[in-house]
Amino acid sequence: MSNDINVNPGLRESATFDRTTMAEIRRAADTGIYDIRGFGAKRKLPHFDDLLFLGASMSRYPLEGYREKCNTQVTLGTRFAKKPIVIETPVTIAGMSFGALSANAKEALGRGASIVGTSTTTGDGGMTPEERGQSSKLVYQYLPSRYGMNPDDLRKADAIEVVLGQGAKPGGGGMLLGQKITDRVAQMRNLPKGIDQRSACRHPDWTGPDDLAIKIQELREITDWQVPIYIKVGATRTYYDVKLAVKAGADVIVVDGMQGGTAATQDVFIEHVGIPTMAAIPQAVQALQEMGMHRKVQLIVSGGIRNGADVAKCMALGADAVAIGTAALVALGCNDPKWSAEYEKIGSAAGFYDDYQEGKDPAGISTQDPNLMQRLDPVEGGRRLANYLRVLTLEAQTLARACGKNDLRNLEPEDLVALTVESAAMARVPLAGTSWIPGQGF
Protein backbone atom coordinates (compact mmCIF):
# COMPACT_ATOMS: atom_id res chain seq x y z
CA MET A 1 0.00 0.00 0.00
CA SER A 2 1.20 3.47 -0.74
CA ASN A 3 2.45 5.60 2.12
CA ASP A 4 3.51 8.23 -0.33
CA ILE A 5 2.04 11.49 1.00
CA ASN A 6 2.19 12.99 -2.46
CA VAL A 7 -0.43 10.58 -3.75
CA ASN A 8 -4.03 11.75 -3.46
CA PRO A 9 -5.41 9.93 -0.37
CA GLY A 10 -8.60 9.25 -2.25
CA LEU A 11 -6.70 6.94 -4.61
CA ARG A 12 -6.57 3.27 -3.70
CA GLU A 13 -3.84 0.91 -4.85
CA SER A 14 -4.59 -2.76 -5.44
CA ALA A 15 -2.73 -5.17 -3.20
CA THR A 16 -2.83 -7.74 -6.01
CA PHE A 17 -1.95 -5.47 -8.94
CA ASP A 18 0.27 -3.01 -7.13
CA ARG A 19 2.56 -0.63 -9.02
CA THR A 20 5.51 -3.01 -8.87
CA THR A 21 3.44 -5.82 -10.35
CA MET A 22 2.11 -3.57 -13.09
CA ALA A 23 5.61 -2.38 -13.98
CA GLU A 24 6.74 -5.99 -14.30
CA ILE A 25 3.81 -6.85 -16.60
CA ARG A 26 4.71 -3.87 -18.81
CA ARG A 27 8.36 -4.92 -18.88
CA ALA A 28 7.36 -8.46 -19.91
CA ALA A 29 5.17 -7.04 -22.66
CA ASP A 30 8.07 -4.87 -23.86
CA THR A 31 10.77 -7.51 -23.95
CA GLY A 32 9.23 -10.98 -24.21
CA ILE A 33 11.74 -12.40 -21.74
CA TYR A 34 11.55 -13.10 -18.02
CA ASP A 35 13.04 -10.63 -15.54
CA ILE A 36 16.52 -11.58 -14.44
CA ARG A 37 17.95 -9.98 -11.32
CA GLY A 38 20.23 -10.51 -8.37
CA PHE A 39 19.60 -10.51 -4.58
CA GLY A 40 17.41 -12.95 -2.65
CA ALA A 41 13.66 -13.06 -2.08
CA LYS A 42 12.53 -9.53 -1.40
CA ARG A 43 8.98 -10.08 -0.26
CA LYS A 44 8.16 -10.15 3.40
CA LEU A 45 8.56 -13.65 4.80
CA PRO A 46 8.42 -15.19 8.27
CA HIS A 47 11.96 -14.66 9.52
CA PHE A 48 14.05 -14.45 12.65
CA ASP A 49 12.60 -11.08 13.68
CA ASP A 50 9.51 -13.03 14.65
CA LEU A 51 11.46 -14.90 17.32
CA LEU A 52 12.52 -13.59 20.73
CA PHE A 53 14.95 -14.85 23.35
CA LEU A 54 13.89 -15.56 26.89
CA GLY A 55 16.70 -13.92 28.81
CA ALA A 56 17.76 -14.78 32.34
CA SER A 57 15.94 -13.57 35.44
CA MET A 58 15.01 -15.62 38.51
CA SER A 59 15.17 -19.16 37.16
CA ARG A 60 18.18 -18.60 34.89
CA TYR A 61 21.36 -16.64 35.58
CA PRO A 62 23.24 -14.59 33.03
CA LEU A 63 26.98 -14.57 32.41
CA GLU A 64 29.12 -11.51 32.95
CA GLY A 65 31.08 -10.22 30.04
CA TYR A 66 34.85 -10.56 29.59
CA ARG A 67 36.11 -13.07 32.15
CA GLU A 68 32.99 -15.24 31.97
CA LYS A 69 33.70 -16.57 28.55
CA CYS A 70 31.18 -17.26 25.85
CA ASN A 71 32.90 -19.50 23.34
CA THR A 72 32.34 -18.88 19.66
CA GLN A 73 34.82 -21.32 18.13
CA VAL A 74 33.41 -24.11 15.98
CA THR A 75 35.08 -27.11 14.32
CA LEU A 76 33.66 -28.17 10.97
CA GLY A 77 34.23 -31.53 9.35
CA THR A 78 34.86 -33.85 12.25
CA ARG A 79 33.13 -36.87 10.69
CA PHE A 80 35.71 -38.13 8.19
CA ALA A 81 38.35 -35.49 7.41
CA LYS A 82 41.90 -35.67 8.68
CA LYS A 83 42.02 -31.85 8.80
CA PRO A 84 38.73 -30.38 9.98
CA ILE A 85 38.38 -26.60 9.80
CA VAL A 86 38.41 -24.58 13.00
CA ILE A 87 36.71 -21.18 12.76
CA GLU A 88 36.87 -18.59 15.50
CA THR A 89 33.34 -17.34 14.94
CA PRO A 90 30.37 -19.34 13.60
CA VAL A 91 29.81 -16.78 10.84
CA THR A 92 31.32 -17.84 7.51
CA ILE A 93 31.25 -16.21 4.09
CA ALA A 94 28.97 -18.00 1.62
CA GLY A 95 29.92 -19.03 -1.90
CA MET A 96 29.85 -16.19 -4.42
CA SER A 97 31.63 -16.47 -7.74
CA PHE A 98 34.42 -14.52 -9.24
CA GLY A 99 32.49 -13.42 -12.28
CA ALA A 100 29.43 -12.50 -10.29
CA LEU A 101 31.70 -10.41 -8.09
CA SER A 102 34.80 -8.44 -9.03
CA ALA A 103 38.29 -9.63 -8.15
CA ASN A 104 38.59 -6.79 -5.62
CA ALA A 105 35.39 -7.88 -3.91
CA LYS A 106 36.58 -11.49 -3.64
CA GLU A 107 39.89 -10.29 -2.23
CA ALA A 108 38.13 -8.05 0.30
CA LEU A 109 36.01 -10.98 1.46
CA GLY A 110 39.11 -13.11 1.90
CA ARG A 111 40.92 -10.41 3.85
CA GLY A 112 38.02 -9.68 6.18
CA ALA A 113 37.29 -13.32 6.90
CA SER A 114 40.94 -14.08 7.59
CA ILE A 115 41.28 -11.18 10.03
CA VAL A 116 38.60 -12.70 12.26
CA GLY A 117 39.59 -16.31 11.61
CA THR A 118 36.67 -17.59 9.59
CA SER A 119 36.26 -19.14 6.14
CA THR A 120 35.27 -17.86 2.70
CA THR A 121 33.90 -19.88 -0.17
CA THR A 122 34.57 -19.81 -3.90
CA GLY A 123 31.62 -19.72 -6.26
CA ASP A 124 30.38 -20.85 -9.64
CA GLY A 125 33.47 -19.80 -11.58
CA GLY A 126 36.46 -21.34 -9.85
CA MET A 127 39.20 -20.25 -7.48
CA THR A 128 41.18 -17.04 -8.07
CA PRO A 129 44.74 -16.60 -6.81
CA GLU A 130 43.64 -13.42 -4.99
CA GLU A 131 41.04 -15.36 -3.11
CA ARG A 132 43.34 -18.25 -2.16
CA GLY A 133 46.08 -15.79 -1.31
CA GLN A 134 43.95 -13.73 1.02
CA SER A 135 41.78 -16.40 2.63
CA SER A 136 43.23 -18.30 5.52
CA LYS A 137 40.43 -20.86 5.23
CA LEU A 138 38.92 -21.36 1.78
CA VAL A 139 36.03 -23.67 0.92
CA TYR A 140 36.01 -24.70 -2.74
CA GLN A 141 32.62 -25.12 -4.37
CA TYR A 142 32.01 -28.08 -6.67
CA LEU A 143 29.05 -27.18 -8.88
CA PRO A 144 27.04 -28.59 -11.77
CA SER A 145 28.76 -26.28 -14.27
CA ARG A 146 32.31 -27.21 -13.14
CA TYR A 147 33.51 -23.84 -14.43
CA GLY A 148 37.15 -23.39 -13.54
CA MET A 149 37.13 -26.69 -11.65
CA ASN A 150 40.53 -28.36 -11.54
CA PRO A 151 42.32 -30.79 -9.21
CA ASP A 152 45.13 -28.37 -8.35
CA ASP A 153 42.65 -25.93 -6.84
CA LEU A 154 40.80 -28.84 -5.24
CA ARG A 155 44.01 -29.80 -3.50
CA LYS A 156 44.63 -26.20 -2.41
CA ALA A 157 41.26 -25.94 -0.72
CA ASP A 158 40.62 -26.31 2.99
CA ALA A 159 37.24 -27.91 2.32
CA ILE A 160 35.11 -28.89 -0.66
CA GLU A 161 31.46 -27.93 -0.94
CA VAL A 162 29.41 -30.07 -3.33
CA VAL A 163 26.62 -27.79 -4.44
CA LEU A 164 23.28 -29.27 -5.40
CA GLY A 165 21.53 -25.92 -5.26
CA GLN A 166 21.16 -22.61 -3.45
CA GLY A 167 18.25 -20.95 -1.69
CA ALA A 168 17.59 -18.33 -4.37
CA LYS A 169 17.04 -20.98 -7.02
CA PRO A 170 16.82 -24.57 -5.80
CA GLY A 171 16.81 -26.67 -8.96
CA GLY A 172 18.46 -23.96 -11.07
CA GLY A 173 22.03 -23.55 -12.26
CA GLY A 174 24.42 -20.63 -12.51
CA MET A 175 23.76 -17.63 -14.69
CA LEU A 176 26.15 -14.97 -15.91
CA LEU A 177 25.23 -12.61 -18.71
CA GLY A 178 27.53 -11.52 -21.53
CA GLN A 179 28.33 -8.10 -20.11
CA LYS A 180 30.14 -9.80 -17.23
CA ILE A 181 31.96 -12.41 -19.28
CA THR A 182 35.21 -10.52 -19.69
CA ASP A 183 38.45 -11.99 -21.01
CA ARG A 184 39.49 -13.16 -17.58
CA VAL A 185 36.12 -14.65 -16.69
CA ALA A 186 35.81 -16.26 -20.12
CA GLN A 187 39.23 -17.81 -19.79
CA MET A 188 38.54 -19.22 -16.32
CA ARG A 189 35.19 -20.66 -17.37
CA ASN A 190 36.31 -21.81 -20.81
CA LEU A 191 33.58 -19.84 -22.58
CA PRO A 192 33.57 -17.44 -25.52
CA LYS A 193 33.82 -13.86 -24.32
CA GLY A 194 30.65 -11.81 -24.14
CA ILE A 195 28.11 -14.62 -24.47
CA ASP A 196 25.25 -15.20 -22.06
CA GLN A 197 26.28 -18.24 -20.07
CA ARG A 198 23.69 -21.01 -20.10
CA SER A 199 23.40 -23.12 -16.98
CA ALA A 200 23.47 -26.77 -16.13
CA CYS A 201 21.22 -27.54 -13.20
CA ARG A 202 22.41 -31.09 -12.58
CA HIS A 203 25.93 -32.38 -12.16
CA PRO A 204 27.25 -33.91 -15.38
CA ASP A 205 28.56 -37.17 -14.00
CA TRP A 206 26.20 -38.14 -11.20
CA THR A 207 22.50 -37.88 -10.33
CA GLY A 208 20.98 -38.85 -7.01
CA PRO A 209 22.35 -39.47 -3.54
CA ASP A 210 23.39 -43.06 -4.32
CA ASP A 211 25.75 -41.86 -7.07
CA LEU A 212 26.71 -38.78 -5.03
CA ALA A 213 28.08 -41.14 -2.38
CA ILE A 214 30.50 -42.48 -4.99
CA LYS A 215 31.40 -38.97 -6.19
CA ILE A 216 32.21 -37.90 -2.62
CA GLN A 217 34.47 -40.94 -2.30
CA GLU A 218 36.22 -39.81 -5.47
CA LEU A 219 36.75 -36.29 -4.10
CA ARG A 220 38.13 -37.79 -0.89
CA GLU A 221 40.45 -40.06 -2.84
CA ILE A 222 41.76 -37.18 -4.95
CA THR A 223 42.47 -35.13 -1.83
CA ASP A 224 43.78 -38.13 0.14
CA TRP A 225 40.93 -37.84 2.67
CA GLN A 226 42.48 -34.70 4.16
CA VAL A 227 39.69 -32.14 3.95
CA PRO A 228 36.01 -31.96 4.92
CA ILE A 229 33.36 -32.42 2.26
CA TYR A 230 30.27 -30.22 2.55
CA ILE A 231 26.98 -30.73 0.72
CA LYS A 232 24.96 -27.57 0.02
CA VAL A 233 21.24 -27.59 -0.78
CA GLY A 234 18.64 -24.90 -1.30
CA ALA A 235 15.90 -25.29 1.30
CA THR A 236 13.00 -27.32 -0.13
CA ARG A 237 12.38 -30.83 1.24
CA THR A 238 15.02 -30.19 3.83
CA TYR A 239 14.17 -33.08 6.17
CA TYR A 240 14.74 -35.67 3.43
CA ASP A 241 17.66 -33.81 1.86
CA VAL A 242 19.60 -33.68 5.09
CA LYS A 243 19.09 -37.40 5.74
CA LEU A 244 20.26 -38.19 2.23
CA ALA A 245 23.26 -35.89 2.59
CA VAL A 246 24.28 -37.82 5.70
CA LYS A 247 23.78 -41.13 3.88
CA ALA A 248 25.80 -39.85 0.93
CA GLY A 249 28.74 -39.24 3.29
CA ALA A 250 28.85 -35.49 3.98
CA ASP A 251 30.97 -34.07 6.81
CA VAL A 252 29.02 -30.80 6.81
CA ILE A 253 25.62 -29.84 5.41
CA VAL A 254 24.80 -26.32 4.24
CA VAL A 255 21.13 -25.37 3.98
CA ASP A 256 20.34 -22.10 2.19
CA GLY A 257 16.86 -20.64 2.63
CA MET A 258 14.88 -18.68 0.06
CA GLN A 259 16.13 -15.35 1.35
CA GLY A 260 19.58 -16.39 0.12
CA GLY A 261 20.97 -14.15 -2.61
CA THR A 262 22.19 -14.74 -6.13
CA ALA A 263 23.95 -12.58 -8.70
CA ALA A 264 21.50 -13.46 -11.43
CA THR A 265 18.47 -15.59 -11.95
CA GLN A 266 14.83 -15.25 -12.91
CA ASP A 267 12.79 -13.20 -10.46
CA VAL A 268 10.09 -15.87 -10.43
CA PHE A 269 12.63 -18.43 -9.29
CA ILE A 270 13.84 -16.27 -6.42
CA GLU A 271 10.39 -15.37 -5.12
CA HIS A 272 8.48 -18.61 -5.65
CA VAL A 273 10.75 -21.57 -5.08
CA GLY A 274 12.19 -22.77 -1.79
CA ILE A 275 11.18 -22.20 1.82
CA PRO A 276 12.18 -19.54 4.36
CA THR A 277 15.41 -20.22 6.23
CA MET A 278 13.64 -20.33 9.59
CA ALA A 279 11.33 -23.12 8.38
CA ALA A 280 14.23 -25.20 7.10
CA ILE A 281 16.39 -25.28 10.23
CA PRO A 282 14.15 -27.40 12.49
CA GLN A 283 13.66 -29.88 9.65
CA ALA A 284 17.41 -30.19 9.19
CA VAL A 285 18.05 -30.58 12.90
CA GLN A 286 15.29 -33.16 13.29
CA ALA A 287 16.76 -35.18 10.43
CA LEU A 288 20.22 -35.10 12.04
CA GLN A 289 18.90 -35.98 15.48
CA GLU A 290 16.91 -38.93 14.16
CA MET A 291 20.09 -40.28 12.62
CA GLY A 292 22.13 -39.60 15.74
CA MET A 293 24.25 -37.18 13.74
CA HIS A 294 23.46 -33.78 15.25
CA ARG A 295 26.78 -32.06 16.05
CA LYS A 296 28.62 -34.97 14.39
CA VAL A 297 27.69 -33.82 10.91
CA GLN A 298 27.78 -30.04 11.27
CA LEU A 299 24.96 -27.85 9.95
CA ILE A 300 25.60 -24.45 8.39
CA VAL A 301 22.55 -22.34 7.56
CA SER A 302 22.27 -19.30 5.35
CA GLY A 303 19.71 -17.07 3.72
CA GLY A 304 18.94 -13.66 5.19
CA ILE A 305 21.35 -13.61 8.14
CA ARG A 306 21.80 -9.90 9.00
CA ASN A 307 22.76 -9.39 12.62
CA GLY A 308 23.96 -11.13 15.76
CA ALA A 309 20.38 -11.87 16.77
CA ASP A 310 19.87 -13.86 13.56
CA VAL A 311 23.11 -15.71 14.24
CA ALA A 312 22.12 -16.54 17.81
CA LYS A 313 18.66 -17.68 16.76
CA CYS A 314 20.09 -20.02 14.13
CA MET A 315 22.41 -21.47 16.76
CA ALA A 316 19.49 -21.81 19.19
CA LEU A 317 17.52 -23.74 16.60
CA GLY A 318 20.42 -26.17 16.27
CA ALA A 319 22.79 -24.91 13.60
CA ASP A 320 26.55 -25.22 14.17
CA ALA A 321 27.34 -22.14 12.07
CA VAL A 322 25.87 -19.69 9.59
CA ALA A 323 26.97 -18.24 6.26
CA ILE A 324 26.41 -14.71 5.04
CA GLY A 325 26.38 -13.51 1.44
CA THR A 326 24.19 -10.47 0.87
CA ALA A 327 25.09 -9.04 4.29
CA ALA A 328 28.81 -9.33 3.53
CA LEU A 329 28.35 -7.38 0.30
CA VAL A 330 26.37 -4.70 2.09
CA ALA A 331 29.21 -4.42 4.61
CA LEU A 332 31.59 -3.88 1.67
CA GLY A 333 29.41 -1.08 0.36
CA CYS A 334 26.69 -2.61 -1.78
CA ASN A 335 23.68 -0.26 -2.01
CA ASP A 336 25.53 2.44 -0.06
CA PRO A 337 23.73 5.84 -0.25
CA LYS A 338 27.05 7.52 -1.02
CA TRP A 339 26.51 6.27 -4.60
CA SER A 340 22.91 7.59 -4.77
CA ALA A 341 23.46 9.70 -7.84
CA GLU A 342 25.07 6.76 -9.62
CA TYR A 343 22.19 4.42 -8.80
CA GLU A 344 19.72 6.95 -10.12
CA LYS A 345 21.65 7.23 -13.38
CA ILE A 346 21.07 3.55 -14.03
CA GLY A 347 17.41 3.67 -13.08
CA SER A 348 17.71 2.36 -9.56
CA ALA A 349 18.21 3.76 -6.04
CA ALA A 350 20.46 3.08 -3.04
CA GLY A 351 18.84 0.36 -0.97
CA PHE A 352 16.84 -0.95 -3.91
CA TYR A 353 19.58 -2.02 -6.34
CA ASP A 354 19.42 -5.68 -7.36
CA ASP A 355 20.51 -5.67 -11.00
CA TYR A 356 23.78 -7.48 -10.27
CA GLN A 357 23.43 -9.24 -13.61
CA GLU A 358 23.97 -5.97 -15.47
CA GLY A 359 27.53 -5.62 -14.29
CA LYS A 360 27.14 -1.88 -13.75
CA ASP A 361 27.29 -1.89 -9.98
CA PRO A 362 28.20 1.63 -8.80
CA ALA A 363 29.73 0.18 -5.66
CA GLY A 364 32.17 -1.82 -7.80
CA ILE A 365 31.22 -5.15 -6.24
CA SER A 366 29.06 -7.12 -8.67
CA THR A 367 30.81 -5.85 -11.76
CA GLN A 368 33.70 -6.73 -14.07
CA ASP A 369 34.12 -3.16 -15.28
CA PRO A 370 37.66 -2.16 -14.31
CA ASN A 371 36.72 1.47 -13.62
CA LEU A 372 33.84 0.56 -11.36
CA MET A 373 35.84 -2.19 -9.67
CA GLN A 374 38.45 0.37 -8.55
CA ARG A 375 35.85 1.96 -6.29
CA LEU A 376 36.21 -0.94 -3.90
CA ASP A 377 39.59 -0.94 -2.19
CA PRO A 378 40.16 -4.57 -1.10
CA VAL A 379 42.12 -3.61 2.01
CA GLU A 380 39.51 -1.11 3.19
CA GLY A 381 36.77 -3.58 2.23
CA GLY A 382 38.47 -6.29 4.23
CA ARG A 383 38.63 -4.03 7.25
CA ARG A 384 34.94 -3.19 7.00
CA LEU A 385 33.97 -6.85 6.66
CA ALA A 386 36.10 -7.79 9.65
CA ASN A 387 34.38 -5.05 11.69
CA TYR A 388 30.98 -6.34 10.69
CA LEU A 389 31.88 -9.95 11.50
CA ARG A 390 33.11 -8.84 14.92
CA VAL A 391 29.83 -7.06 15.57
CA LEU A 392 27.84 -10.16 14.56
CA THR A 393 29.93 -12.24 16.93
CA LEU A 394 29.70 -9.79 19.85
CA GLU A 395 25.94 -9.40 19.41
CA ALA A 396 25.44 -13.16 19.38
CA GLN A 397 27.61 -13.51 22.49
CA THR A 398 25.65 -10.79 24.26
CA LEU A 399 22.40 -12.63 23.69
CA ALA A 400 23.92 -15.99 24.62
CA ARG A 401 25.34 -14.63 27.88
CA ALA A 402 21.97 -13.10 28.68
CA CYS A 403 20.55 -16.58 28.37
CA GLY A 404 23.23 -18.00 30.65
CA LYS A 405 25.29 -19.76 28.00
CA ASN A 406 29.06 -20.11 27.96
CA ASP A 407 29.04 -21.37 24.38
CA LEU A 408 26.93 -20.21 21.44
CA ARG A 409 26.07 -23.83 20.72
CA ASN A 410 24.46 -24.21 24.12
CA LEU A 411 21.61 -22.01 22.98
CA GLU A 412 18.52 -24.17 22.53
CA PRO A 413 15.07 -23.90 20.96
CA GLU A 414 13.66 -23.63 24.49
CA ASP A 415 15.39 -20.24 24.76
CA LEU A 416 13.06 -18.90 22.07
CA VAL A 417 9.44 -17.87 21.71
CA ALA A 418 7.57 -16.63 18.65
CA LEU A 419 5.49 -13.56 17.93
CA THR A 420 3.25 -15.04 15.24
CA VAL A 421 1.50 -18.31 14.57
CA GLU A 422 3.46 -18.83 11.34
CA SER A 423 6.85 -18.30 12.92
CA ALA A 424 5.90 -20.50 15.89
CA ALA A 425 4.92 -23.31 13.50
CA MET A 426 7.96 -22.91 11.26
CA ALA A 427 10.55 -22.53 13.98
CA ARG A 428 8.73 -25.06 16.19
CA VAL A 429 8.83 -22.82 19.26
CA PRO A 430 5.85 -21.72 21.36
CA LEU A 431 3.86 -18.60 20.74
CA ALA A 432 5.03 -16.04 23.35
CA GLY A 433 3.10 -16.30 26.58
CA THR A 434 1.74 -19.72 25.69
CA SER A 435 2.97 -23.28 25.50
CA TRP A 436 1.43 -23.76 22.09
CA ILE A 437 3.52 -24.85 19.11
CA PRO A 438 1.20 -24.97 16.10
CA GLY A 439 1.63 -27.68 13.52
CA GLN A 440 3.03 -30.38 15.79
CA GLY A 441 1.76 -33.90 15.66
CA PHE A 442 1.19 -34.56 11.98
Binding site for other proteins (CB under 8 A): 31-33, 145-146, 149-152, 154, 177-178, 190-192, 195-196, 198, 200, 202, 204-211, 213-215, 217-218, 221-225, 237, 240, 243-244, 247
Q: Provide, rounded to whole angstroms, the least separation between the CB of residue 241 and other proteins.
A: 9
> Which residues have a Cβ under 8 Å from the Cβ of 1 and sit 6 or more positions away?
13, 15
Closer CB to other proteins, 202 or 345, in the complex: 202
Closest CB to other proteins among 202 and 272?
202
Distance CA 15, CA 425 (A): 26
DSSP of 110-151: HHHHHHHT--EE-BTTB--HHHHHH-SSEEEEE-SS-TT--H
Judged by beta carbon, residue 4 or residue 152, the one nearer other proteins is: 152
Least separation in angstroms between CB 287 and other proteins: 12
Closest to other proteins by CB, 228 or 381: 228
**Dist. CA 368–CA 359, nearest whole Å:** 6
CB of 141 to other proteins, least distance (A): 14
| Residue 108 DSSP SS3 | helix
Q: Contact at 8 Å (CB) between 189 and 197?
A: yes
User: Which residue number, 69 or 202, has a Cβ lying nearer to other proteins?
Assistant: 202
Shortest Å, Cβ 384 to other proteins: 35
| 229 three-class SS | strand
Q: How far is the CB of 264 from other proteins (least distance, A)?
A: 11
Backbone angles phi and psi of 186, in degrees to 5 = -60, -40
Smallest gap from Cβ 329 to other proteins, in A, equals 25
C-beta closer to other proteins: residue 96 or 175: 175
Give the whole-angstrom CA distance, residue 421 versus residue 76.
34
Supply the minimum distance, in Å, between the C-beta of residue 212 and other proteins. Answer: 9
Give whichever of 83 and 247 is closer to other proteins, judged by the CB atom: 247
What is the torsion angle, in degrees rounded to the nearest 10, for the CA atoms of residue 398, residue 399, residue 401 and residue 407?
Answer: -100
C-alpha separations of 380 from 94, 175, 240, 414 in Å: 20, 29, 43, 40
Closer CB to other proteins, residue 104 or residue 223?
223
DSSP H helices, 338-404, are 340-345, 370-373, 378-402
- Report whether 370 contacts 27 (CB < 8 A): no
Least Cβ distance, residue 95 to other proteins (angstroms): 18
